[in-house]
Amino acid sequence: MKSVILYYTFGGSTKKEAERIGAELEAPVYRVREKRNRSLLGSFIPGGFQAMKRKRVKILPPEADLSAFERIYIGCPVWAAYPAPAFNSIADLLPAGKEVEVFLCSGGNDPRPSDEGTKRMIEAKGCSVTSIYTIPTGVAPSKLKE
């Protein structure tokens, strides 16, 4: 099955996981960035609020033809118990008919009621969700040094 991995990271842990999955599947990996450079404070305010409201943010879209893949992995950090807002913008790019697997990097491993809505967002794009799973990183909020 032809797979591609798309991810957003703020602190770097989702990048690590995306690259691990990409190497395991021998699949291409694309980092999606927000257009605006966000500060650590900006990840909480307004970032946490944007995540909870499932707001879209402007992103630099991946240079990948998503229609060429059967399965699309989306990786994202958890902010305020929701996928970080870049996730919502990535989900908007999904072509219909794809299998989608979501991996969410979070500090802890608490149950996340937002997963149901995350699944519905992807299904609303005409895609099916193979799984949504958590990678508890134990990493405190921080910003990746580029």
Binding site for ligand FMN (CB under 6 A): 9-14, 43-44, 47-48, 77-81, 105-108, 137, 139, 141
Q: CB of 74: closest distance to ligand FMN in angstroms?
A: 13
CB of 95 or CB of 141, closer to ligand FMN = 141
CA distances from residue 81 to 8, 30, 49 in whole angstroms, order as listed: 16, 24, 11
Q: CB of 90: closest distance to ligand FMN in angstroms?
A: 14
**How is 106-146 classified by DSSP, letter by letter?**
ESS----TTHHHHHHHHHTTT-EEEEEEEEE--PPS-----
CB of 38 or CB of 71, closer to ligand FMN = 38
Q: CB of 66: closest distance to ligand FMN in angstroms?
A: 21
CB of 14 or CB of 118, closer to ligand FMN = 14
Q: CB of 84: closest distance to ligand FMN in angstroms?
A: 7
CB of 10 or CB of 87, closer to ligand FMN = 10
